[in-house]
Structure 1
Amino acid sequence: MHTAEDLASLTAEEFASNIKAIILEFRSRLDDPKQRQSPENVEIQNLLVSRAAEPAVVTDITPILTSIPTKDDRVTETLQQTLFWNILVKMSFEQLQSYRSIFKAVNAQDTGVPDRRGSHLRNMKLLKCFTLNPQSIWVPETDCDPIGGRTLSERVHTAEQMRPYMREMYFWFHDRNDHLPYEDCQKRLARFPETAIAVAADIIDEMAMDKAHLWGNIEYLVTIVNFVSSYIPVGEIWMLMRKSVEFLARVLREAVKEGIDVVVNEDCLNDCEWLSELDEWEKDDSEEEEREEEE
């Protein structure tokens, strides 16, 4: 196998002419748990990413991306998937401009008829959208979209810019099994805590009022409250959500009394753990203010 040092020493033409073999070697390293996160493999990946925009390499990668694999052509599928997930998605916007015409060409192959290339066509569509418009921003619709998350982290710089996307990000809290988008959305919401809490409060208020569907929403709402506990330090900013959480706890208690079929945990019915933590912070903050006044 090529080492990182071997690859670094290759000329542009040598690297390009061996690109298929290099990618397949890298893929085999990724499939080996012992090598996947090794320093050597990380260095090889960085080399692939940095050299993928070299003109000669782009030329030799083009037929890989535009190929339509036959039924039994696993090699082309492996090359295409490895290129997308481990190389192209890690390239900068500027580097990807070398591939913009290729992404468009692959998308032009889409006849709308489902086939074995569904994931590859979807991946190329994501990259086309990303490279065509530097202002394009979207929340991932599936866990197979790593590009939407990039737009949110690289192209959103203020809370005002992020707010229109926050409800969609909270939507991922419905299914925490989709770890990549769920965890990414948590981190991106936490970038702008005050706005994230304000939007969370609106969601809680709206859903808590819908008693008929409360049983289906409660786990989702509790997950939102837990997100605030885990990602946003307790403080005055939590006050923005106090009334909403109190309202939710009250509605849940009433729902149980009325015999509405709703699954809740003990914390929701009694003194919500979140509210208790906020009360404790207020108490400590008040005592600290009193001490400062005495001094």
Structure 2
Amino acid sequence: MNREQLTTLDERVFAEKVPTMLWADRETLFEDGSEDIDIIRCRASEPATVETVSTVLTSAIEDEDYDTLRVHQKALYSVLFKLSLAKLRPYRPALAALAAFDISGFSHRSSHYAQTSILIQNAGLLERFAADSKAVWVSKDKFDMVSDRTLTERVHTAEEMRPYMPELFDWLVDANNPPFRPCRDQLARFPETAAIVAAEFLAKANEEKDTEYQHFLIDFVYDCVPVGKSWMPMREHVQALVKELEGSSDEDDEELVGEANEWLARLEQWKALRKEQD
């Protein structure tokens, strides 16, 4: 059936087709999926669709059965994750049921087990998001797929974001962690305030001689914070880093010193230009 036909189907008739549509598109995982999946999202607030998708989400996942797992993943990640808060709320009972699904009896500790565990975790987090319109948090582990949405939709000023910045900066220690980029982007929304916190974290990274973290902190301010007064709190810590590492024969240290000197040079250029303008 084409889009127009699916869009205009009677509510109950359409809902009966939803399980088949999810099954057919189950292998696309985190992608938005086919046009059929888009239509499910568009009609997700219809009571019959709520009932059907909820039934899918609360159905059993068998040990090592990837097909049923994929259908659950499709329903959660490609449908419910994309819904507005208003459309999401009717699915709270189903999300709570999925979050309570017990896989302790699974005999295999395989990729299937891990993916099912992550699915269950994120169902619980999405239910929390839907249940409390003021709930905001930073990811506690690399599997949380909901925390970034809470920050995007519910934090609107630098003052509101400030309490979450230390936890966001904690994720900037390793670019291989999935939360690295989302957390960096959240910090970049309020660059002047983030620069102040970055200076505090660079001071700690200097004490711990954590060259990788030093790199990511300097890189964040260089790339995401407009050069100017906001850079000044970090200046002394960048200078201290250069003083500590300059002359080292370690290749990583040499690279970091080069980045730090480039950072300092950019700040000096801004200061010189400002002096000329004054």
TM range (shorter): 0.7 to 0.9
Distance of aligned partners of 1:199 and 1:54 in 2 relative to their CA distance in 1, 3 Å threshold: same
Work out whether residues 32 and 78 of structure 2, in 8 Å CA contact, stay in contact via their aligned partners in 1: no
Aligned residues: 269
User: How far, CA to CA, are the matches of 1:168 and 1:282 in structure 2?
Assistant: 32
Work out whether residues 6 and 14 of structure 2, in 8 Å CA contact, stay in contact via their aligned partners in 1: yes
2:126 aligns with 127
User: How far, CA to CA, are the matches of 1:62 and 1:45 in structure 2?
Assistant: 15
Deviation string 1:200-238 (CA, Å, 9 cap, x unpaired) is 10011122123xxx1xx1111111111111122222221
Work out whether residues 202 and 214 of structure 2, in 8 Å CA contact, stay in contact via their aligned partners in 1: yes
User: Quick one: which amino acid aligns to residue 184 of structure 1?
Assistant: P
The equivalent position to 1:68 in structure 2, one of 53, 56, 60, is 60
1:7 aligns with 6
1:277 aligns with 266
2:196 aligns with 198
Q: Secondary structure at the match of 2:253?
A: coil
2:110 aligns with none
User: Cα distance, 1:74 vs. partner?
Assistant: 2.8
1:221 aligns with 214
Deviation string 1:24-63 (CA, Å, 9 cap, x unpaired) is 33445x48xxxx789xx4x544432221221101111122
Instruction: List runs of 5+ in structure 1 lacking aligned partners.
Output: 290-295
Deviation string 1:103-136 (CA, Å, 9 cap, x unpaired) is 222333347x374331221121111211121111
Q: Secondary structure at the match of 1:135?
A: coil
User: How far, CA to CA, are the matches of 1:114 and 1:167 in structure 2?
Assistant: 38
User: How far, CA to CA, are the matches of 1:174 and 1:74 in structure 2?
Assistant: 34
User: How far, CA to CA, are the matches of 2:213 and 2:260 in structure 1?
Assistant: 19
User: How far, CA to CA, are the matches of 1:164 and 1:196 in structure 2?
Assistant: 11
TM-score (norm 2): 0.86
The equivalent position to 2:48 in structure 1, one of 29, 50, 56, is 56
Alignment pair present for 1:139 and 2:132: no
Q: Percent identity?
A: 33
- Give 1:1-295 correspondences, 5 Å limit: 2-27=1-26, 30=28, 41=34, 44-71=36-63, 73-110=65-102, 113=104, 115=106, 116=113, 117-179=116-178, 181-210=179-208, 214=209, 217-253=210-246, 256=248, 263-268=252-257, 272-289=261-278
